[in-house]
Amino acid sequence: QKEVEQDPGPLSVPEGAIVSLNCTYSNSAFQYFMWYRQYSRKGPELLMYTYSSGNKEDGRFTAQVDKSSKYISLFIRDSQPSDSATYLCAMSRDWGAQKLVFGQGTRLTINP
């Protein structure tokens, strides 16, 4: 079993829809949770990060962590075609840890 599981999709939704992306994990030691966005033929870029359980909002994006269920989510409101990309979750055990464990990534397409 992989440490981090993420449905690879693909996921296709109409413009303006609310998108929900999810990851589950098995290692309860993970405390820092990140979402990366990767456009085609580019490297991943950090979108958001959160610590422990709770919500964090940044514009149209909300990251949610439920440590009791070992489940994290990324919500995108009012989705735009420019949001079309692959979204990867990533996790680490402590703030100083440099080693990240990534999910497989979910390929998202927003249709105009």
Partner 1 sequence: DAGVIQSPRHEVTEMGQEVTLRCKPISGHDYLFWYRQTMMRGLELLIYFNNNVPIDDSGMPEDRFSAKMPNASFSTLKIQPSEPRDSAVYFCASSPGTGGSSSYTFGSGTRLTVV
Min separation Cβ 105 and partner 1, Å = 6
Contact between residue 68 and residue 15 where contact means Cβ atoms under 8 Å apart: no
Nearer to partner 1, 52 or 78 (CB): 52
Nearer to partner 1, 25 or 32 (CB): 32
Min separation Cβ 103 and partner 1, Å = 7
Nearer to partner 1, 75 or 102 (CB): 102
Q: Using CA atoms, how far apart are residues 73 and 71, in angstroms rounded to an integer? A: 7
Q: What's the half-sphere exposure (Cβ side, CA atoms, 13 Å) at 3?
A: 12
Min separation Cβ 32 and partner 1, Å = 5
**30: nearest Cα among 6, 7, 53, 58:** 53
Min separation Cβ 112 and partner 1, Å = 26
| Residue numbers at the binding site for partner 1 (CB under 8 A) | 6, 8, 32, 34, 41-46, 49, 88, 90, 92, 94-105
| DSSP string of 73-99, one letter each residue | EEEESS--GGG-EEEEEEEESSTT---
